[in-house]
Amino acid sequence: IALGAFAANATSGPLLAAVLIATGNTASGVLGAWLLRDVARIAISLPRLKDCLSLLFIGASLTPAITATLGAASLCLAEIHPWSSYFSLWSLWWFGDGAGVIIICPLLLTWSSLFAKERESGDIADYGLLAVSLLFLGFLIFQPDSAIATILPARILVFPFVIWAALRLGAAGSSLGVFAISIMAAIPALRAIEPFGHEAGENLISLQIFMCVVAIMGLVIAAANSERRENERALHESREQIRYTLEAAKVGTWDWDIRSGVVHWSEVMEEIQGIPWDRDGGRIEDFFERVCSKDRDRIRRAIGNALSQGKLYQVEYRQIHPDGRTQWLEGKGRAFYDQEGRPVGMRGICMDISERKELELELKQLTDNLENQVLERTAMAEKRAAELQKMAMALTQTENRERRRLAHTLHDGLQQLFV
């Protein structure tokens, strides 16, 4: 940058001016690259609105101010222009560099990233269509004595092409379109013919302003559309991940529109409940017909509490499967309301808990058997303890009788001895 700027200006002006201009160009380029790469951390394909705004603020507004400040000062110091014209020089310099960044920089950034990845056949066809459209545009409005340019404002005809390129091809397409239109428009601007028709200098300033507006519009539209597509892709992946997770866990989803009474359910519900999946959904009455009659009132109460109090709908119920077996299901969901607070529907999930209920029943039976065994063992232990206590009492009584007998015998023997 320094050598190029110095060589370009040293041959046509004072050495001091060439040094200052080269310094300004180098400083702005290095500072801008550092700010964009390390501070703003923009992606060179400009896929986000943040990247475009960073490029516009740093690359097209901040760094050109450095070049304009040193460049205008160098011309005044070299006495090429008086200091009274410093601000006008600074403004023209700043705007010219900024316009160059806005028009050229996105083209270089996006196309360098575009060549780094494999292009699809559809993209190649779109770029071919863009090239043909640009040639048609140039022939239509930028040719001398163009009839269209005299009927319609030529600048208006530029917008549809740039908008289409931004929506279809992103920042790479819009920047290519803006660059091509700038080249085609510069020729009649310099020749002072339609659609411009003024002096060359005035035409170029007008052209730069117009192309900057078009370029900014294209970049913003492309970035917004890219972010929208990325959000849609992330949303689609999230939905697919949730769907795969629910299918793996055999969890079905349902959506009940209270106003129409129609219930839509996922395809997993066909496997769970044996209800054929229908894109148009089914009636809520069909659901209650399959539920065991003893559980219907409990489900209605749970639904009523969820709708009136905003509570979580959660209920376990039995259903007659089309194959004739009775299965246990668990439903969970929440109601959603309109702006006036009236319930308009419910959404939730449904799970087959028949295996869990069977395990709970087996566990209950095991628990009951264990309790019965504990009671039986306790009764047997108490009976044995009572028998042992009875035997101990009998032994104690026998021991006491034997002691009394021995004492009585000793007492009688001693009396006979003394006599």
Which residue ranges of the chain lie beneath pLDDT 50? 193-197, 200
| DSSP state at residue 179 | H
- The predicted-structure confidence for 10-45, as pLDDT tens digits, reads as follows 676 677 778 888 888 888 888 988 999 998 898 888
Res 199: pLDDT = 52
What per-residue confidence (pLDDT) applies to 118?
Answer: 56
Output the pLDDT for position 147.
52
The answer to whether the beta carbons of residues 265 and 277 sit under 8 Å apart is yes
What pLDDT does 251 receive?
Answer: 86
| Encoded tokens for 393 | 């009492």
Give the per-residue pLDDT at 62.
Answer: 92
What is the sign of the dihedral through the CA atoms of 79, 80, 81 and 86?
negative
Strand, coil or helix: what is 341? coil
Q: What stretch of H or E contains 261? A: none
With beta carbons less than 8 A apart as the criterion, state whether 218 and 165 touch: yes
For 76-135, what is each residue's pLDDT tens digit? 888 888 888 899 889 988 998 899 899 999 998 888 876 656 555 557 777 777 777 777
**b/e for 234-259, b at 16 or more Cβ within 10 A?**
eeeeeeeeeeeebeeeebbbbbbebe
- At 231 the pLDDT is 92
* Coil, helix or strand at residue 197: coil
Contact partners, residue 96, CB within 8 Å, separation at least 6: 208
Q: How far apart are CA 57 and CA 36, in angstroms?
A: 10
d(CA 74, CA 90) in angstroms, rounded, equals 11
pLDDT value of position 203: 62
In whole angstroms, give the CA distance from residue 225 to residue 46: 11
b/e for 26-53, b at 16 or more Cβ within 10 A? bbbbeebeebbeeebebebbbbbeebbb
Q: Provide the β-strand partners of residue 320.
A: 326
In angstroms, how far is CA 106 from the centroid of its own chain? 26
| Confidence (pLDDT) at 21 | 82
Q: What value does the CA radius of gyration of the chain take, rounded to a whole number of Å?
A: 45
* Rounded distance between C-alpha atoms, residue 236 and residue 47, angstroms: 19
